[in-house]
A = this chain, B = another copy of it.
Amino acid sequence: MPKLFRKVREIRNFLRSFRCSNDNSNSIGFVPTMGYLHKGHRELIRRSKLQNDLTVVSIYVNPLQFGPGEDYETYPRDLERDLTVCEEEGVDVVFAPTDDEMYPEKPTIKIEIPGLTDVLEGAYRPGHFSGVATVVLKLFNIIQPDRAYFGEKDFQQLKVVQRLVKDLSIPIEIVPVPTVREEDGLAASSRNTYLKEEERQAATVIYRSLLLAQKLFSSGTRNAKDIKEAVLRALLSEKLVSKVDYVEIVDEEFRIRDDQVMEGDRLLVALRVGKVRLIDNWRFGDEAV
């Protein structure tokens, strides 16, 4: 079983002595999660185990990154099950703090990155990325890993974390890990458990729409508007898609691409299948899995 810590002070003490032992050469890999671990998380863990002497997984549903009316209360939680997954994957340390331990008082800090935290997910979920940034910085300060692993499924979050690391000189290597998909292409996500059977089937339209965009790109279409419209139409062709928040293309600096799409640009989508909000993205130039 992985070693389970509930308290900041205790995991700090444990990691401090680990870090300095072995002639100060021990490396720590960190996989921050909100639990309810799935195959995407397993992939993050495997990458960490390949590159580090010790792998720490945090499991914490961070209230700060949920807005009013979002799914904080219903977000799936099952620590027993998560510990089993961690054991199967050979995780060394699990950090599963309580709310009191993480936020003895409510943080007042607001962290914004204009042009990044206020667009797309940030525009639809005001305060979300400030909450993400706060908890990620806290966890980084508690774990002080050498490397931290983030899935590309939450692509904008990855960009925010990369920017924090750069702007604040954080001595951690951020390792992006490609999105892990189910056999029918749906991106692995804890929120997939919200989907009823019919909705789960309908959600495959997302991956099909991303592939359509890639196919258009491969066959020479470069106009961003044309590609976005095709994707939007494809998504809306599915009756259970009740709302599309955005279909957008950004360049590698996360600037909205409004003219010619280039290889390396990212298509980002957010939509509701029934009442379940899902996001996904695609890098132009990638091949279907």
Interface residues of A (CB under 8 A from B): 8, 12, 16-17, 19-20, 24, 105, 107-116, 134, 137-138, 141-142, 144, 163-164, 166-171
A110 to B113, alpha carbons, bound, how many Å?
6
For the complex of A and B, 10 pairs with smallest distance between CB atoms: A107-B167, A20-B24, A20-B20, A109-B167, A138-B169, A110-B112, A141-B169, A137-B168, A141-B170, A108-B113
A8 to B168, alpha carbons, bound, how many Å?
12
User: Given the complex, which residues of B lie within 8 Å of A141, measured CB to CB?
Assistant: 168-171
User: Given the complex, which residues of B lie within 8 Å of A170, measured CB to CB?
Assistant: 141
A112, B109: Cβ atoms closer than 8 Å: yes
- Known contacts A108-B116, A109-B168, A138-B167, then 4 further A-B pairs from the complex at CB < 8 Å, ordered by chain A residue: A20-B24, A107-B166, A137-B169, A142-B169
A255: min CB distance to chain B, Å = 12
User: Given the complex, which residues of B lie within 8 Å of A20, measured CB to CB?
Assistant: 19-20, 24
A116 to B12, alpha carbons, bound, how many Å?
29
